[in-house]
A and B are shown apart, each in its own frame.
Chain A
Amino acid sequence: MWAYFKWEFKQFFTNKKNIAVYVILLFLGLYFVLKVAPSYEPIEKVDVAEMEARFTTRDDFIKSVEGKDNIHPSVAFALAVFPQWNEYDRARIDAINEKDYLKYAEATAGWYLYSDQLTVNGDSFFYNPLYYTYGNNYAHADGHYGYGYTASRFTGYVEGSSELSMDLFEERTALQTLQRMLNDYLPIVLFISCILLSVDIVLKDRRNPSLLKGFPISDWKKLLMKGLVAFVGSILSFVPLYVVLIAIGLQNGFGDFSLPVPFYSYIEQNFTNMTMSTFLLKNILFIGVWFLFLIAIILFLSIIVKAEFANLFVSFIIIAAEWFYFERVMGAYSDIERYPTSYVQVGQVISGYRNFVYQSPDLTYQHGLTIIGCCTLFLVILTLIVSKFKRFKLIA
C-alpha cells in the first residue's frame, strides 16, 4: 500500500495541471503582497488628525454651552457624555505622540466601548461613516460589530504581552493579515485549489489502464491512498501562503501567536478573545476537514458518475451554494446551520461573524466540524460499499 501511495504521490506532483495550480496560487500570493496588501485601508485605523478634529469639535462645543441655563435636553446629554469621550480621545492623542502604545491601546479599548454604548441603541450618534455604504441596510449593526470587535482586540493588547506597534493596531502584521484573509476569501481559494488538484485523482488512471489495472491492491485501498495523496497535496497548497506571510512579515512585522483574535458570542452578544494560535489551529483543522469532505465527494463521484465535469460541477456547487441562499438574519427563521454549505466561510464561522450576520446561535465551529465530518464519513462509507461490489471496476 505504501508503494502505491508513493507512486500516486509522484504522479500527483508531476501532473502538469497540479503544478499549474500551485504556480497560480503563488502568483495570486505575489499579487496580494504587491497590490492588495499595501492598499489595505482599515475602517478602524489610527488617525490622529481625525481624533484631534473630533476632540476639538467637542471641546469647542463644551466650552460654548458650558454654564448656560435652559439648554435643550440633547445639548444637556451631549454635555454629559462629551467630557468622558474627549478624555479617551485626549489620552489616545497623547499616547500616540508619546509613542506609548500600551496607553494608546488602553484608551482606544475604552473609547470603542464607550462609543458603542452611546451609539448602539440611540439615534444621536453614528458609527464610523465608512460602515454606512450604499445599499447596506445593516450598517448600524455592522458598526456595532466593528466597534465591539475593535474594543475587544485592543483590550487583548492591553492584557497581552505582544510587542505593540502601529501596524499591529491596524492589523497589518503577517499573522493578522492571514487572520483577515481567513475571514475573507482565502478558505474559498484553498477549497477551489483542493477541487482542482483532486478532480482527476481517480479518473486520470483511464489514460494508463493496462499499466495500473492489475496492481495487487484492492480498489478500496487505491481510493484511500488517492484520497490521502489529494489531501496532502491540498494541504501543501498552503505553501504559497508562506511566501505571502514572509513578504508581509518583512514589511510590516510578523506579529505573534499570542495576539488576541476577537470571537463574537451570539448568546452573550459580546466579544471575547482567543489567541492567534488557537484561531489558526481551528482554521487549519476546519479547512482540513473541508478538504476531506471535498475529496470524499470527488472520490465518490469518480466511481459513480466517472466524469471530471461532474466532479467539478458538484464540488463547485457545494462551495458556492451559500451565495444562492444567503440573506442576513435568515438564521432567525430557517435552519441554515444544518446545511454543510453554510460553513464554507471557515474563518467567519470560527470568529463568530457568521452567527452575527445570520443571527443564529447554532452556526458554530463545533457544529460545523460535526456536520462536515459526518458528511465526509457518510461519503467514505458509501465509497467503501460501492468499491467492495464484486462487479465494480475502478478502471473500466
Chain B
Amino acid sequence: MLELKKIRVQFGDKQVLKDISIKFQPGEIIGLVAPNGTGKSTLMNVIMNYLSPNQGQVILNHELQYSSKANEVKIHQGVSMMPDQSDLYNHVSGKNHLKIYQAMWNSNPKLIEDTIVQLGMESYVKKKTGTYSLGMRQRLCFAMQIVSDTQVMLMDEVMNGLDPTHVELISQILLQKKAEGKTIIIASHLLENLEQYADRIFFMKTGELKLVDELVPGFTDNKVTTVRVSNFSQEHLEVFKKQFSGLHVQTLPSGKTLIDVSKQDTETLGSITQYLIAQQLTDFSFGKLTLNDLYSMEYQQK
C-alpha cells in the first residue's frame, strides 16, 4: 500500500500540492486527471522522491519513508515510474532497454519475452530506438515498466502517441496487472479510456485531489442522470429553462448542453423528450455524466 500524508509542494508563492493525504491500495488503478501544469507530474515526482515536498511523507507498506538514501533504494525497488520516451537511448536497442530494467529490478527474465509478444514488439525490438516511431517508443517505455514488475507503477500519459488498437492492448495489460495486485497510478488525458479501467479517478484542482464521486455524487453509478443535447440554441435554451425551471441545465464549451435528470421521474423524462423533438432537436441522448463532461465542467467552463 502506498500512502501520501499531508504532501505540500510550494514553488515560491504558488502552492502546487496542498496537504494531499491519500492511500492507494494493492490491485487498484488510480486515474489522475487535470490540464497540463496543474501538478500531476509534480505529485508523481514527489512519490518517486525526485522532488522533495515542503512537507509531508510518502509511506510504502506502512513503514518505508524517504527518510534516508537507503530507504529511497528500498522504496524504488517497489515503486517505479514509466520513463519518458524522449529519454530513450537512441543508439541502444529496445531489447537492451528492457534487459536493463529487468536486471536493475531483478525481475523474472521471462517477462521480457512475454511483454514483447504481448505488445507486438517482435519485429522491431532488436533495432535501435532511434529508428522507432513515437508510438513504438511509447510502447517500449510501457514495456520497460511492466518488465520492472514493481508493486506500485506510476505512468504519466501512458497512451500518448498510441493508435486505438494499442490503447486497447495496453488497457488490457493494465487490467491484468491490476489483477496481479499491482497499484497503478495513471495520469492521462484519454478520459474515456481511463473511465474503462480506473477504480478511482481524481481531478487535480488548486493543488488538491478531488475524487470524481465526491464532485458528482453517484458518478460511477450505473443509471441515467443526464440528457446530452447537441446544438441547443440560446433561444431554445431560454425557453427550455422556463418550461423546466426545476432542472439544472449547463452548456459546455464543446457546445453540448447537459440536462441533469438524476432526480427526475419517467414522466419528466418523457416531457423533455417530447419538447426536444418538437423543437427539431433530434441529436440528444440519455445516459450518465462522462468524464469528458466533468473535465469540461471543471476546467473549461467559462
Note all chain B residues with C-beta closer than 8 A to A3.
100, 103-104, 106
Most chain-B Cβ atoms within 10 A of its Cβ — which of A7, A209, A210, A392? A210
Q: Fill in one digit per residue for B97-116: 1 if any A CB lies within 8 Å of its CB, else 0.
A: 10010011110000000000
Does A216 lie within 8 Å of B69, measured CB to CB? no
A217 at the interface (CB under 8 A from B): yes
Does B69 lie within 8 Å of A214, measured CB to CB? no
Note all chain B residues with C-beta closer than 8 A to A210.
81-84, 87
- A6 CA to B99 CA in the complex, in Å? 11
- A310 CA to B178 CA in the complex, in Å? 48
Note all chain B residues with C-beta closer than 8 A to A216.
73-74, 76-77, 104-105
Residue of chain A at shortest CB distance from B145: A214
Does B70 lie within 8 Å of A218, measured CB to CB? yes
Does A220 lie within 8 Å of B69, measured CB to CB? yes
Q: Which of B88-96, B167-175, B179-187, B282-290 contacts A (4 or more CB under 8 A)?
A: B88-96
Note all chain A residues with C-beta closer than 8 A to B68.
390
17 additional A-B residue pairs with CB within 8 Å, beyond A208-B87, A211-B144: A3-B100, A3-B103, A3-B104, A7-B103, A10-B92, A208-B88, A208-B89, A210-B84, A211-B87, A211-B89, A214-B80, A215-B104, A216-B73, A216-B76, A219-B69, A387-B69, A388-B69
A282 at the interface (CB under 8 A from B): no
What are 28 residue pairs bridging A and B, where the CB atoms are less than 8 Å apart in the complex? A3-B103, A10-B92, A10-B96, A208-B87, A208-B88, A208-B89, A209-B87, A210-B81, A210-B82, A210-B84, A210-B87, A211-B87, A211-B97, A213-B48, A213-B50, A214-B76, A214-B79, A215-B104, A216-B74, A216-B105, A218-B69, A387-B69, A389-B69, A390-B66, A390-B67, A390-B68, A390-B69, A393-B50
B160 at the interface (CB under 8 A from A): no
Segment 45-92 of B: residues with Cβ below 8 Å from A: 48, 50, 52, 66-70, 72-74, 76-77, 79-84, 87-89, 91-92
- A7 CA to B99 CA in the complex, in Å? 10
- A7 CA to B84 CA in the complex, in Å? 19
Note all chain B residues with C-beta closer than 8 A to A211.
83-84, 87-89, 97, 144
Size band of the B side of the interface?
20 to 34
Q: Fill in one digit per residue for A193-224: 1 if any B CB lies within 8 Å of its CB, else 0.
A: 00000000000000111111111111110000
Segment 1-17 of A: residues with Cβ below 8 Å from B: 3-4, 6-7, 10-11, 14
A63 at the interface (CB under 8 A from B): no
- A220 CA to B81 CA in the complex, in Å? 21
Size band of the A side of the interface?
20 to 34
A391 at the interface (CB under 8 A from B): yes
Does B103 lie within 8 Å of A6, measured CB to CB? yes
- A213 CA to B47 CA in the complex, in Å? 13
Residue of chain B at shortest CB distance from A391: B52
Give A residues with C-beta under 8 Å from B.
3-4, 6-7, 10-11, 14, 207-220, 387-393
Within the complex, the shortest CB–CB distance from A202 to chain B, in Å, comes to: 16
- A392 CA to B52 CA in the complex, in Å? 10
Note all chain A residues with C-beta closer than 8 A to B96.
10
Indicate which residue in B52, B80, B104 contacts A4 across the interface (CB closer than 8 Å): B104
- A3 CA to B102 CA in the complex, in Å? 9
Note all chain A residues with C-beta closer than 8 A to B77.
216
- A313 CA to B88 CA in the complex, in Å? 30
List of 6 A-B pairs having minimum Cβ-Cβ separation, nearest first:
A3-B103, A216-B76, A211-B83, A210-B84, A216-B77, A208-B87
Does A217 lie within 8 Å of B67, measured CB to CB? no
- A219 CA to B76 CA in the complex, in Å? 12
Most chain-B Cβ atoms within 10 A of its Cβ — which of A4, A7, A389, A393? A7
- A218 CA to B69 CA in the complex, in Å? 7
Q: Fill in one digit per residue for B25-54: 1 if any A CB lies within 8 Å of its CB, else 0.
A: 000000000000000000000001010100
Residue of chain A at shortest CB distance from B72: A218
Residue of chain B at shortest CB distance from A217: B73
Note all chain B residues with C-beta closer than 8 A to A7.
100, 103-104
- A211 CA to B143 CA in the complex, in Å? 13
**Given A4-B104, A7-B100: A215 in contact with B76 (beta carbons within 8 A):** yes
- A219 CA to B87 CA in the complex, in Å? 19
Residue of chain B at shortest CB distance from A15: B91
Note all chain B residues with C-beta closer than 8 A to A219.
69
Residue of chain A at shortest CB distance from B106: A3
Within the complex, the shortest CB–CB distance from B57 to chain A, in Å, comes to: 13
Note all chain A residues with C-beta closer than 8 A to B73.
216-218
Residue of chain B at shortest CB distance from A395: B50
Residue of chain B at shortest CB distance from A4: B104
Does A11 lie within 8 Å of B103, measured CB to CB? no
Within the complex, the shortest CB–CB distance from A7 to chain B, in Å, comes to: 5
Note all chain A residues with C-beta closer than 8 A to B91.
14
- A309 CA to B52 CA in the complex, in Å? 28
Note all chain B residues with C-beta closer than 8 A to A209.
87
Segment 212-266 of B: residues with Cβ below 8 Å from A: none
Note all chain A residues with C-beta closer than 8 A to B105.
216
Within the complex, the shortest CB–CB distance from A5 to chain B, in Å, comes to: 10
- A390 CA to B82 CA in the complex, in Å? 24
Note all chain A residues with C-beta closer than 8 A to B88.
208, 211
- A276 CA to B12 CA in the complex, in Å? 66
- A14 CA to B128 CA in the complex, in Å? 13
Does A217 lie within 8 Å of B104, measured CB to CB? yes
Note all chain A residues with C-beta closer than 8 A to B106.
3
